[in-house]
Amino acid sequence: MTEELTGRRIVVPETRELGQLLRMLEERGADTVPCPMIAIRDAPDPVPINAWLRRFAKGTCNDLVLMTGEGLRRLLGFARRLDLEPAFRAALAETRKITRGPKPVRALREIGLVTDMPADEPTTEGVIAALKRHDLTRRRVGVQLYPGNANERLLQFLKGAGAKADPVLPYVYASEADDARVMAVIAEMAAGEIDAIAFTSAPQVRRFRDVARAFGREAELRRGLERIVVAAVGPIVAAELNAIGVQVNVIPHDNTFFMKPLVRELAAAFTPGHKE
């Protein structure tokens, strides 16, 4: 394994796959600074999720849009606690499955299933573009939502296409790192003690922004991010950073939304002679 990142201090805001990302960076010599920003929790009110699962297990949905892999795993967890998992899996096998990006594809593969309709690109617009090629009239479409995005664009599209949407939100985000830890990392970045940060989700960006705003340290956050290499796992995260005025220095050109290409491109950014 090459060691292009030897001596580089890199902030890692990832939570769910923190250990994996730390390992990949440290294998390249990095001195990692873990700061898990967002915890993922089951939605606090199980009643609407359980009702959705009971409907779905009866075969009421013709299609299911899976926006995230986490969403499918959480639905399986709720179904298991209802003693409904076999029925849910059976209905899932019979339902046309539309996936946004590689993570829901991976989650399906974990239970021996495959996607029937991958999105043209891993965005809501990519899902809509794929659905537009099919007649949705009078079809009932389950829509797995994710926190912070009610996805009115997709729901309105389905309504306009003659379909009946049946949305479900199985999980929520919660703050993981406490405010003091986040502020300490911001101070280190502003002081030039950090070389890079690797963002893997838009909520991580928003958490940094919200903490800085709450303590009146937004200027310090911007100054810190200007001093270091800012890496984003894909275009959605990059757009979130751009929205708060942050320039993204590293983004994988291919296979976005995966950590390995992110680490590879980040390592390349510190290779002598590298050009963006």
What is the model's pLDDT at position 1? 53
Give the residue among 236, 252, 255, 235 at the shortest CA–CA distance from 102: 255
Q: Which one is predicted more confidently, 56 or 201?
A: 56
The DSSP-derived string for 211-235 is HHHHTT-HHHHHHHHHHSEEEESSH
Q: Are 167 and 197 in contact (CB under 8 A)?
A: no
Task: Supply φ then ψ for residue 157, to 5 degrees.
Answer: -60, -45
* Alpha carbon distance 67, 103 (integer Å): 9
- pLDDT band of residue 58 (cuts 50, 70, 90) is very high
Q: Within its chain, how far is the Cα of 219 from the centroid?
A: 27
**What percentage of the chain has pLDDT greater than the value 70?**
96
Task: Supply φ then ψ for residue 208, to 5 degrees.
Answer: -60, -50
Q: Are 234 and 252 in contact (CB under 8 A)?
A: yes
Q: Are 67 and 100 in contact (CB under 8 A)?
A: yes
Residue 275 has pLDDT above 90, yes or no: no
What's the mean pLDDT when you consider all of the chain? 93
Long-range pairs, 206-212, Cβ under 8 A, ≥24 = 206/148, 206/240, 207/13, 207/37, 207/38, 207/175, 207/177, 207/182, 208/13, 208/37, 208/182, 209/244, 211/179, 211/182, 211/183, 211/186, 212/182, 212/183, 212/186
pLDDT tens sequence across 127-175: 999 999 999 999 999 999 999 889 999 999 999 999 999 999 999 988 8
Domains and CATH numbers, the chain: 9-37+176-269 (3.40.50.10090), 41-173 (3.40.50.10090)
List the Cα angle 164/71/39 in 5-degree steps: 140
What is the model's pLDDT at position 39? 85
If you ran DSSP here, which 8-state letter would residue 271 be given? S
Q: Are 269 and 262 in contact (CB under 8 A)?
A: no
pLDDT tens sequence across 60-99: 999 999 999 999 999 999 999 999 999 999 999 999 999 9
- pLDDT band of residue 4 (cuts 50, 70, 90) is confident
* Alpha carbon distance 116, 5 (integer Å): 40
SS3 173: strand
What is the model's pLDDT at position 99? 98
Give the residue among 45, 44, 2, 43 at the shortest CA–CA distance from 26: 2
- pLDDT band of residue 122 (cuts 50, 70, 90) is confident
- pLDDT band of residue 255 (cuts 50, 70, 90) is low
Burial state string for 188-200 with b = 16 or more CB within 10 A and e = fewer than 16: bbbeeebbbbbbb
Amino acid at 14: E
What pTM did the predictor assign? 0.77
Q: At a CB cut-off of 8 Å and minimum separation 6, what does 243 contact?
A: none
What is the model's pLDDT at position 271? 83
